[in-house]
Amino acid sequence: MADAPAVDVRVTVNGHEQVVTVHPMARLLDVLRVDLHLTGTKEGCGEGECGACSVLVNGELVNSCLTPALQVDGASVTTIEGLAPGDDRLHRVQQAFIEHGGAQCGICTPGMILAAVTLLERHPQPTDEQIRTGLSGNLCRCTGYTRIFEAVVRAARLRPGERAT
């Protein structure tokens, strides 16, 4: 058996520099939820198929259930908790989701919102096809996706900080 000891992993999470002492293979999902108490990121499948665990690592969407902790050593991670620009304001994507009914049970929502955020960074005025492709790794069992797509379209038209309705 390898009997691997825990190691120090230096990672910036939502703008805050952290050092976590974890096993190198520990899932980033568990480091976020258990070690850092950031429970916004959800586990839906534990096999990279549903996207509920999606976070941004160095600005790129990844499935945190498939990311070993060592892989984010030196990296910058953004979770759903780090999205809002302030305590009293929401990111325009969050605002649009609330006001267009893009969330029901909410389990897919953190990952879905982060996927939408990174999509809008790459395609500020996405076509329907680009929205479907950009969110294709995020499964939702409640909404039937329609209101999620509408929320993304609406968020694309909002200036940052502008309310959706």
Q: Quick one: 98 or 139, whose CB is closer to another protein? A: 139
- Asked whether position 24 contacts another protein by CB under 8 A, the answer is yes
8 binds another protein (CB under 8 A): no
- Under 8 Å between Cβ of 64 and 52: no
Burial 15-47 (b: 16+ CB within 10 A, else e): eeeeebebbeebbbbbbbbeebebebbbebeee
Q: Taking contact as CB under 8 A, which single stretch among the options 48-56, 79-87, 140-148, 154-162 is the one that binds another protein?
A: 48-56
SS3 59: coil
Which positions from 53 to 72 touch another protein by CB under 8 A, shown as an x/- string? Answer: -x-----xxxx-xxxx-xx-
Q: Kindly list the distances between the CA atom of residue 110 and the CA atoms of 66, 70, 91, in Å, as whole numbers in the listed order.
A: 17, 23, 12
As measured in angstroms, the least distance from the Cβ of 64 to another protein is 9
* Residues lying near another protein in the complex (CB under 8 A): 1-5, 23-27, 30, 46-49, 51, 54, 60-63, 65-68, 70-71, 73, 115, 118-119, 133-134, 136-139
